[in-house]
């Protein structure tokens, strides 16, 4: 996740960037990028490079749904000549570029890769998708990537990095797939200078410095799990209404539900985003619920992001610090503050 | 659960020629026969619909069973691989999927995914006495390791089968119990909760942990294999502690809600372990080391 230190790459104008994007669209590559419509900025499939919005700040939702859709069929079934026949969903037919992905969201995609990578449907889609990240020239009020292991110019989960400077963009490939993607445009591009990269580095450091939040130390994963029985969870979650918006806006949440749509003879099996904040999530058929209250559910969310996942993935937090959950929470719960509260001495009195 | 088992999240992304197949898509199975065990527990015997041989499985592994249009439900494979003519499952009709499964007739088709999860280490119990303690529908999870032990009878010491339910009518595998009890060195004790007895009942009346304590089984070289509702296990573990059973010699299964069986859907975890991949079989010693999230 450290910023790349070699200074290869290019310096291009917005016009050159648009031209490259236009050439990708012309080559039948699906370009998915931030588009602003009626005040809402979200990732959409571009019809033209003019729609591309690379302004400061992040999209309302991460681009996760283009790899892990909100709802999708995992197979369909129908009855033919009295026999049930099962069919896989059609594969993704386009090569795809997701462009303008903030480093936090790209890091979130690295998490979804780690979890959903073994799934055939996800893997097929992922194999045809290249990620072009866009570093952050400003920190938004909710941002805290720098305190959870990320950086405003981080490269985790990215194939190509775009750095917006005052009068130009720097472009560099980070992977062979990224190299291949920019090959078409880069023949005509001007090489970036050491001075350009020094400006990029300074921008990253300034944004990280401006960002809220104190460090979540890497060795907190074990300490947090050891606080499983802490009374702090009850105090922290008391205002949680269980709406699960934190999950739906999260770039790294991957939990899903599976349900059938249709009849016994014809239909499809669908998986949909689900949330550990819902009581039904873990409810047994018998009525027993291992997580019977909002406190145990909130604890699961925090520990999954900051303890269980990091312990299984070399210490990398599953929370990427985008801050959307805190921004959208109707009662102002903030996962970053919650981690610090549980780790602090006062936490034992919070309940 | 193996202490060093990788968690599901550690699987790497496969691509190119190593592309994974769609593990969410079930195989079609035909119901060979079906019968009721209790007023709400039914057993199905299954074969692959295309006639191909069944996959190998081990006692304690589970599957996802589809009633098309209703969805999937998870239960154990109820027979041992030593009796692998069919794949059997027993389930309680309690929700949308299981009601539909119960209403299906022999010859009709269901979906099956599996076998999933770890298994009972029956081989490790060789030379030991084994007591099976099954409460209610929990008896279903014990049938496969029990059959395994009975089919390899000479490898094991004394066998005690302690089976309890709320009411006489709710005792599973009533038809098979006499046959099990007739085998040498096998003792079957059945009990119902107070108030659950009926005229002619010749078994015990009392809660399983109390009846177990009354049996006065020496700990010695005895392995305890148990499954039942959380409240039963809670009190059974208290009894086992009182009697001095080593936690490593007590084996049970966790039955957390699951949707995928592959360590992906995220709901069956206990701490960083997924019951579907690292379980469902855990020793009491392993449970003691886990967060109380089950």
Q: Could you tell me which of B164, B161, B96, B101 has the C-alpha nearest to residue B129?
A: B161
pLDDT at B110: 98
Inter-chain contact A267–B14, Cβ cutoff 8 Å? no
Last residue of a domain, one of A180, A210, A240: A210
Do A262 and A180 fall into the same domain?
A: no
Do A281 and A205 fall into the same domain?
A: no
Do B147 and B130 fall into the same domain?
A: yes
pLDDT at A212: 84
The verdict on residue A157 lying in a domain is yes
The verdict on residue A3 lying in a domain is no
Which CATH number fits the domain that encloses residue B62?
2.40.30.10
Do B127 and B250 fall into the same domain?
A: yes
**Which chain B positions have a beta carbon within 8 Å of A297's beta carbon?**
none
Q: Kindly report the average pLDDT of chain B as a whole number.
A: 93
Q: What is the pLDDT of residues A86-122, one digit of tens each?
A: 999 999 889 999 999 999 999 999 999 999 999 999 9
Residue B228: strand, helix, or coil = coil
Backbone phi and psi for residue B224, each to the nearest 5 degrees, phi listed first: -105, 125
Do B241 and B195 fall into the same domain?
A: yes
The verdict on residue A2 lying in a domain is no
Inter-chain contact B257–A75, Cβ cutoff 8 Å? no
**Which chain A positions have a beta carbon within 8 Å of B67's beta carbon?**
264
Place of tokens 């969410």: B24
pLDDT at B45: 98
Separation in Å, CA of A89 to nearest CA in chain B: 10
Distance of CA B113 to the CA centre of its chain: 16
Do A29 and A174 fall into the same domain?
A: yes
Do B146 and B102 fall into the same domain?
A: no
The verdict on residue B273 lying in a domain is no
Do B284 and B148 fall into the same domain?
A: yes
Structural domain boundaries, residue A205 = 10-210
Which residues, at least 6 apart from A301, have a Cβ–Cβ distance to it below 8 Å? A246, A247, A276, A277, A335
Inter-chain contact B271–A74, Cβ cutoff 8 Å? no
Out of A228, A269, A283, closest to residue B291 by CB: A228
Q: What is the pTM of this model?
A: 0.93
Helices and strands, number each (H, E), in chain A: 13, 12
Mean pLDDT across B132-159: 97
B136 to chain A: closest CA residue: A286
Whole-angstrom distance, CA of residue A329 vs CA of residue B22: 36
Burial class (CB in 10 A: 0-12, 13-18, 19+), A257: buried
Do B229 and B147 fall into the same domain?
A: yes
Inter-chain contact A264–B267, Cβ cutoff 8 Å? no
pLDDT beyond 70 at B16 = no
Q: Could you tell me which of B262, B260, B294 has the C-alpha nearest to residue B278?
A: B262
Mean pLDDT across B70-89: 97
Last residue of a domain, one of A156, A189, A210: A210
Do B183 and B205 fall into the same domain?
A: yes
Spell out where A114-197 has E strands: 129-134, 160-164, 169-173, 190-191
Do B33 and B58 fall into the same domain?
A: yes
In the sheet where A256-262 sits, what is the strand order? A83-87, A71-80, A267-273, A256-262
Whole-angstrom distance, CA of residue B12 vs CA of residue A130: 18
Mean pLDDT across B169-191: 96
The verdict on residue B267 lying in a domain is no
Inter-chain contact B257–A282, Cβ cutoff 8 Å? yes
Whole-angstrom distance, CA of residue A74 vs CA of residue A269: 6
Do A87 and A25 fall into the same domain?
A: yes
Do A297 and A164 fall into the same domain?
A: no
Inter-chain contact A309–B9, Cβ cutoff 8 Å? yes
Last residue of a domain, one of B74, B97, B116: B116
Do B49 and B151 fall into the same domain?
A: no
Whole-angstrom distance, CA of residue A15 vs CA of residue A36: 19
- How many separate domains does chain A show? 2
Inter-chain contact B24–A288, Cβ cutoff 8 Å? no
Q: What is the pLDDT of residues B38-69, one digit of tens each?
A: 999 999 999 999 999 999 999 999 999 999 99
Inter-chain contact A255–B72, Cβ cutoff 8 Å? no
The verdict on residue B218 lying in a domain is yes
- How many separate domains does chain B show? 2
The verdict on residue A69 lying in a domain is yes
The verdict on residue B1 lying in a domain is no
Q: Where are the alpha helices (DSSP H) in B135-283?
A: 139-151, 177-181, 208-215, 230-243, 275-278
The verdict on residue B196 lying in a domain is yes
Whole-angstrom distance, CA of residue B77 vs CA of residue B280: 12
Whole-angstrom distance, CA of residue A1 vs CA of residue B31: 53
Sign of torsion over alpha carbons A99, A100, A103, A106 = negative
Last residue of a domain, one of B116, B147, B178: B116
Do B163 and B206 fall into the same domain?
A: yes
pLDDT beyond 90 at B213 = yes
- ipTM > 0.85 for the complex: yes
Last residue of a domain, one of A145, A175, A210: A210
The upper half-sphere exposure of residue A111, i.e. CA atoms within 13 Å in the direction of its Cβ, equals 28
Decide if A312 touches B, using CB distance below 8 A.
yes
Separation in Å, CA of A198 to nearest CA in chain B: 35
Task: Name residues 92-151 of chain A within 8 A of B (Cβ).
Answer: 113-121, 123-124, 126-127
The verdict on residue B171 lying in a domain is yes
pLDDT at A6: 66
Structural domain boundaries, residue B215 = 123-256+280-289
DSSP state of A308: I
Separation in Å, CA of B10 to nearest CA in chain A: 7
pLDDT at A93: 84
Last residue of a domain, one of B54, B81, B116: B116
**Which chain A positions have a beta carbon within 8 Å of B256's beta carbon?**
282, 284, 290
Q: Are A295 and A98 in contact (CB under 8 A)?
A: no
The verdict on residue A36 lying in a domain is yes
The verdict on residue A1 lying in a domain is no
The verdict on residue B175 lying in a domain is yes
Residue B109: strand, helix, or coil = strand
Separation in Å, CA of B255 to nearest CA in chain A: 8
pLDDT at B6: 36
**Which chain B positions have a beta carbon within 8 Å of A276's beta carbon?**
266-267
Do A77 and A202 fall into the same domain?
A: yes
Do A206 and A238 fall into the same domain?
A: no
Which CATH number fits the domain that encloses residue B181?
3.40.50.80
Inter-chain contact A285–B98, Cβ cutoff 8 Å? yes
Do B108 and B129 fall into the same domain?
A: no
**Which chain A positions have a beta carbon within 8 Å of B71's beta carbon?**
258-260, 269
Inter-chain contact A264–B69, Cβ cutoff 8 Å? yes
Q: Where are the alpha helices (DSSP H) in chain B?
A: 96-103, 139-151, 177-181, 208-215, 230-243, 275-278, 284-289
Do B95 and B17 fall into the same domain?
A: yes
The verdict on residue A254 lying in a domain is yes
Out of A126, A225, A262, closest to residue B291 by CB: A225
The verdict on residue B271 lying in a domain is no
Q: How confident is the model at residue B18 (pLDDT cuts 50, 70, 90)?
A: low
pLDDT at A346: 52
Inter-chain contact A312–B9, Cβ cutoff 8 Å? yes
Chunked in runs of 10, what are the mean pLDDT values of chain A (351 residues)?
65 96 94 96 97 96 97 97 94 93 98 96 96 97 96 97 96 96 91 95 96 86 93 95 97 98 97 97 95 97 96 94 97 95 67 40
Do A34 and A156 fall into the same domain?
A: yes
């Amino acid at each position: 996740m450290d910023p790349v230190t070699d200074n290869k790459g290019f310096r291009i104008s917005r016009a050159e960037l648009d031209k490259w994007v236009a050439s990708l669209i012309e080559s039948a590559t699906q370009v998915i990028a931030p588009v602003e419509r009626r005040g809402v900025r979200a990732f959409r499939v571009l019809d033209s490079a003019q729609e591309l919005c690379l302004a400061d700040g992040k999209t309302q939702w991460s681009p996760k749904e283009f790899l892990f859709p909100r709802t999708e069929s995992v197979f369909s079934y129908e009855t033919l000549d009295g026999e049930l026949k099962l069919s896989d969903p059609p594969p993704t037919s386009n090569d795809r570029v997701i462009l303008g992905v903030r480093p936090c969201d790209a890091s979130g995609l690295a998490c979804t890769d780690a979890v959903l990578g073994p799934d055939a449907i996800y893997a097929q889609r992922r194999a045809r998708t290249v990620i072009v990240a866009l570093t952050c020239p400003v920190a938004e009020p909710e941002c805290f990537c720098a305190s959870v292991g990320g950086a405003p110019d981080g490269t985790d989960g990215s194939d190509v990095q775009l750095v917006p400077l005052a009068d130009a963009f720097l472009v560099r490939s980070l992977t062979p797939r990224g190299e291949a993607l920019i090959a078409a445009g880069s023949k005509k591009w001007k090489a970036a200078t050491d001075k350009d990269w020094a400006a990029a580095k300074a921008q990253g450091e300034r944004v990280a410095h401006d960002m809220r939040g104190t460090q979540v130390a890497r060795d907190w994963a074990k300490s947090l799990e050891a606080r499983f029985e802490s009374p702090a969870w009850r105090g922290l979650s008391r205002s949680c209404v269980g709406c699960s918006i934190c999950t739906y806006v999260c770039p790294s949440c991957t939990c899903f539900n599976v349900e059938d749509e249709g009849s016994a003879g014809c239909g499809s099996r669908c998986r949909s985003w689900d949330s550990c904040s819902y009581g039904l999530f873990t409810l047994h058929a018998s009525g027993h619920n291992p997580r019977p209250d909002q406190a145990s559910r909130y604890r699961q969310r925090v520990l999954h992001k900051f303890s269980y996942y990091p312990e299984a993935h070399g210490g990398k937090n599953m929370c990427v610090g985008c801050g959307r959950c805190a921004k959208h929470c109707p009662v102002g719960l903030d996962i970053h503050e919650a981690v610090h509260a549980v780790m602090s001495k006062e936490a034992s009195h919070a309940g | 659960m193996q202490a060093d088992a990788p968690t599901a999240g550690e699987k790497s992304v496969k691509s190119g020629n190593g592309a994974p197949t769609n593990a969410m898509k079930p195989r079609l199975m035909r119901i060979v026969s079906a019968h009721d065990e209790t007023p709400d527990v039914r057993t199905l015997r299954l074969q692959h619909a295309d006639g191909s041989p069944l996959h190998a499985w081990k006692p304690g592994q589970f599957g996802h069973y589809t009633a098309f249009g209703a969805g999937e439900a998870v239960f154990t494979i109820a027979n041992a691989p030593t009796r692998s003519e069919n794949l059997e499952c027993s389930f309680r009709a309690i929700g949308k999927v299981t009601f539909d499964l119960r209403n299906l007739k022999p010859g009709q088709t269901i979906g099956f995914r599996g076998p999933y999860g770890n298994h009972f280490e029956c081989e490790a119990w060789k030379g030991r006495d084994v007591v099976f303690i099954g409460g209610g529908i929990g008896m279903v999870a014990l049938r496969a390791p029990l059959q395994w032990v009975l089919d390899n009878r000479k490898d094991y010491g004394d066998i005690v089968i302690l089976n309890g339910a709320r009411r006489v009518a709710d005792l599973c595998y009533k038809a098979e119990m006499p046959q099990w009890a007739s085998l040498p060195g096998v003792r079957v004790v059945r009990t119902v909760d107070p108030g659950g007895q009926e005229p002619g009942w010749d078994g015990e009346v009392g809660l399983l942990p109390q009846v177990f304590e009354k049996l006065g089984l020496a700990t010695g070289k005895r392995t305890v294999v148990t499954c039942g509702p959380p409240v039963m296990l809670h009190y059974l573990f208290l009894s086992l502690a009182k009697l001095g059973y080593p936690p490593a010699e007590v084996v049970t299964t966790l039955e957390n809600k699951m949707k995928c069986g592959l360590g992906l859907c995220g709901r069956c975890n206990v701490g960083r372990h997924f019951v579907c991949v690292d379980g469902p079989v855990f020793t009491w010693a392993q449970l003691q080391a886990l967060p109380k999230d089950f």
